[in-house]
Structure 1
Amino acid sequence: MRYVSTRGRAGSVDFEGALLSGYARDGGLFMPQKIPVLDCATLKKWSTFSYPELVKQLCSIFISPELIPKEELNGTSGDTGSSAIESVRAEGNSDEIDEPIKELFADDDFSRRHNLMSLNSINWSRILVQIAHYFYAYFRCAPSVDATPLPVVEIVVPTGGGGNLTAGCLAQKMGLPIDLVAVVNNNDIVHRAIQHGDLSLSRNLKPTLASAMDIQEPYNMERIFWLFSGSDSNLVKSLMEDFYTTKTVKLPLELQKKLSGGLRSYSVSDEEIVRTMRCCWEENHYLLCPHTAVAVSYHYKHSSCHPSICRCCLAPASPVKFEDAVLKADLTLDISPEISMLKDKETRSCTLKRGDDWAKLLRHQIEAVTKQRNLTLS
């Protein structure tokens, strides 16, 4: 399996090349050159697998056995110790933090010298593992895998940067019979792009209770455009370069029709998030995080319209991380002793303040880490 850039101006790489990098050299994002389609017999066989087994099967498709033999595709765990972690926090939102990161990755010499890589959904490996979520969810929700054709399951995806949604689109392309619904908060650029072809920034970012989804530049939409345009890298390059320059793009009508035909989308307010968290607790004694509540809000609004549909709402986080949202819903957060202990632990971080040159500060921080690591190894 080889990987190519969504913008088509970088050479293909193997899995290792896609893993140990962020953006491709032409500024695009890596995607598999070919997307395999699974037949019904394979899906039926996979339906008996555990989640780790599904991950292993998927990885064996997208990672060459010459690089990692299938029998060696096993998860590992290990503690590198807190001394191996360098934390940086910024006085800004996700989109603002992404800018200096893009700049560092664009500096090919610096990126190679310091072995930079990204572990968020810029990196293909993150998308790859998320594909397994959809197969696992489908097999748990589908009433039967013996029917012909296989039944459809609707999967509702809380969406910010679009990485998880990209994984769902890939699962769909691989033959998994799912319908996808992208649900966003008040920062609704993904919703507007799907419904109206409007890829443009709002005047201001709106802070919401679902803070991890407070994104105005959903970089993984580039991958989704690539998928729905039939891998048209010239179109994707033009769209994304225009977007990052002007911050406003109208999608071609043909592409917008394909998006709205293949995806549904919905936007949820903070008031609906709070109401959903409260309702789910009262009905099920299940505490939602605000991001999960975005998806479940869609379910509550549409369950009476299609009562027989099989639907799964993805839950991306624990409510423990979002105490303010839990309190706004007049609910009580039961925090385990293990989590409570973390609050008393020492924290270390470098703060990027507004007005500073964040790219320059990150360069200095990375150079210092590299120097320290080399001293330790020597």
Structure 2
Amino acid sequence: MRYWSTRGLAAPVGFQEATLQGLASDGGLFVPEIVPQLDLAALKNLDYAQVAWRVMAPFCDIPEADLRALCEDAYGPKYGGAPAPLRADPWGHVLELFHGPTYSFKDVALQFLGRTLNYILTQRDERCNLLVATSGDTGSAALQSVVGCPRLTAVVMFPKGRVSPLQQRQMTTLLEPNTHCLEIDGTFDDCQAILKELNRDAEFKQRMRLGAVNSVNFARLLAQSVYYVWIYLQTGEPLQVVVPTGNFGNFLSAWLAYRMGVPTRRLALATNENDIVHRYFRDRVYERGQVHETLAPAMDIQVASNLERFFSMAGGGDQVAGWMAQFEKTGRVETPPLEGPEMVSGRASRGEILQAIRDYHEQVGVVLCPHTAVAWHVARRLPQLGPEVVVATAHPGKFPEAVAEALGRPYPGHPALEALRDRPQRVVSLPAEAKAVKLWLEGLSN
């Protein structure tokens, strides 16, 4: 299997090299040359780790026995809980993806990806610096993924004042020698722009041995696609999912499962006031807007990187480089309809998020995090086609202030997260400039 850049100028590479590079040298995202079809019957009655390595094997150039061992280690007892349990509710199911070490869906992919990167680097006797941009949960999951991986160092950039206090403490209280946090005076889009600019500097990227574990890394999307295959295997019903998304990676992972042959009825995308992806699916116009600070900070994005990968894989082909050049120049591009099942979208305001948390708690007795509340709000306003699965992306204990506001009373949160309040923090503050981050990284390597 070879991987090509969406921009068409970088040489094709294998899975291991694409995973190490993260972003292609021409600034594009790696996409597989083909999407293999799954033998779904062969996956029935297997546990999650067994399903994972079988789904990913056709995409990988890792020996089967080693890939299996990586998945069993990632999703075994060390994970903390079941990776993707389905909880029944009156409308279908909720896919709870928050039972890993940082209580976020990002753990499902990053526990696998950290081990895989360490495996590849060990085979090559190399090291790698992972530069990460986060709007919330990716940061702590990325940092946790390198714990115990001596060939990896993780450097996380997060926007100052734009992640929840607990999300910040999950990052800044992890004081491992190979984990570092940079507080950027800007938005997540600024962090993401810095990441892309430094990755486009081929000499710097090679000298600093930069890699990426954001959803720009195809291996992360591949690992996330497994839980959409898992939904089908557990329910026996065509996929009908509602996915909260910011950078479009989680939704694209569901679309990838569809492309692998998972029967699909409808994919629904849910977001907050930062609704660039909702507006794209409504109008087929990808247009940058102003970033709004919300109760669901992981969605506070106005440049959804994985739309570029979707454009390429869904039929955009050679047009994608031109589309992205236009978007980078003008902040706007229009595309024709692209390939996929029925795909719909919706958004939720601050008041609607709070109301969704209240309503679900009153009707079911379970508390949702703000991002999951966005998805549930959107789900309730779609035409009902039968039982659906709402994807729950974080433990509500990560957002105690928002939950308390919704319920009108103090919310105790999660004991392990509350314990972080008194721990020492380590963070470096930098301006939203690529040159500032570049200088800091160069100092780290000295």
TM range (shorter): 0.7 to 0.9
**Mapping for residues 99-110 of structure 1, pairs under 5 Å:** 99-110=193-204
Partner of 2:392: 315
Partner of 1:137: 231
Partner of 1:145: none
- Equivalent residues of 1:195, 1:256 under 8 A apart: no
The reply on whether 1:64 has 2:61 as its aligned counterpart is yes
**Mapping for residues 79-228 of structure 1, pairs under 5 Å:** 79=148, 82-142=176-236, 151-178=237-264, 179-202=266-289, 204-228=290-314
**Mapping for residues 226-245 of structure 1, pairs under 5 Å:** 226-229=312-315, 232=317, 234-245=318-329
- What is the CA distance between 1:95 and its match in structure 2? 0.6
Instruction: For residues 4-63 of structure 1, give each alpha carbon's deviation from its aligned partner in whole angstroms, at most 9, with x where no partner exists.
Output: 11122211111111111132112110111110112xxx2123131222222111221211
Partner of 1:246: 330
The reply on whether 1:264 has 2:344 as its aligned counterpart is yes
Letter in 1 for 2:445: T
Partner of 1:325: 402
Partner of 2:41: 44
- What is the CA distance between 1:71 and its match in structure 2? 4.3
The number of aligned residues is 347
Rounded Cα–Cα distance in structure 2 between residues aligned with 1:263 and 1:2:
28
Partner of 1:293: 373
- The percent of aligned pairs where both chains have the same amino acid is 32
Partner of 1:282: 362
- What is the CA distance between 1:137 and its match in structure 2? 1.8
Instruction: For residues 134-175 of structure 1, give each alpha carbon's deviation from its aligned partner in whole angstroms, at most 9, with x where no partner exists.
Output: 011222233xxxxxxxx4230111011001111111100111
Partner of 1:374: none
Rounded Cα–Cα distance in structure 2 between residues aligned with 1:36 and 1:331:
50
The reply on whether 1:21 has 2:21 as its aligned counterpart is yes
- Equivalent residues of 2:398, 2:417 under 8 A apart: no
- What is the CA distance between 1:343 and its match in structure 2? 1.3
With normalisation by structure 2, the TM-score equals 0.74
Partner of 2:435: 360
Q: Which runs of 5+ in 1 are unaligned?
A: 143-150, 372-378
Rounded Cα–Cα distance in structure 2 between residues aligned with 1:249 and 1:119:
27
- What is the CA distance between 1:67 and its match in structure 2? 8.8
Q: What is the SS of the residue equivalent to 1:205?
A: coil
- What is the CA distance between 1:105 and its match in structure 2? 0.4
Letter in 2 for 1:198: V
Partner of 1:148: none
- What is the CA distance between 1:265 and its match in structure 2? 1.0
- Equivalent residues of 1:196, 1:256 under 8 A apart: no
- Equivalent residues of 2:18, 2:218 under 8 A apart: yes
Rounded Cα–Cα distance in structure 1 between residues aligned with 2:67 and 2:392:
29
Q: What is the SS of the residue equivalent to 1:314?
A: strand
Relative to structure 1, is the Cα distance of residues 66 and 337 closer, same or farther in structure 2, using a 3 angstrom cutoff?
closer
- What is the CA distance between 1:264 and its match in structure 2? 1.0
- What is the CA distance between 1:72 and its match in structure 2? 3.7
- Equivalent residues of 2:269, 2:278 under 8 A apart: yes
Q: What is the SS of the residue equivalent to 1:154?
A: strand
Q: What is the SS of the residue equivalent to 2:440?
A: helix
Q: Which has the larger radius of gyration?
A: 1
Partner of 1:348: 426
- What is the CA distance between 1:317 and its match in structure 2? 1.2
Q: Which runs of 5+ in 2 are unaligned?
A: 79-146, 150-174
Letter in 2 for 1:201: R
- What is the CA distance between 1:66 and its match in structure 2? 4.9
Rounded Cα–Cα distance in structure 2 between residues aligned with 1:337 and 1:223:
38
Letter in 2 for 1:116: L
Instruction: For residues 170-190 of structure 1, give each alpha carbon's deviation from its aligned partner in whole angstroms, at most 9, with x where no partner exists.
Output: 100111012211111111111
- What is the CA distance between 1:79 and its match in structure 2? 3.6
With normalisation by structure 1, the TM-score equals 0.86
Rounded Cα–Cα distance in structure 2 between residues aligned with 1:345 and 1:110:
35
Rounded Cα–Cα distance in structure 1 between residues aligned with 2:409 and 2:26:
48
Over aligned residues, Cα RMSD in angstroms?
2.0
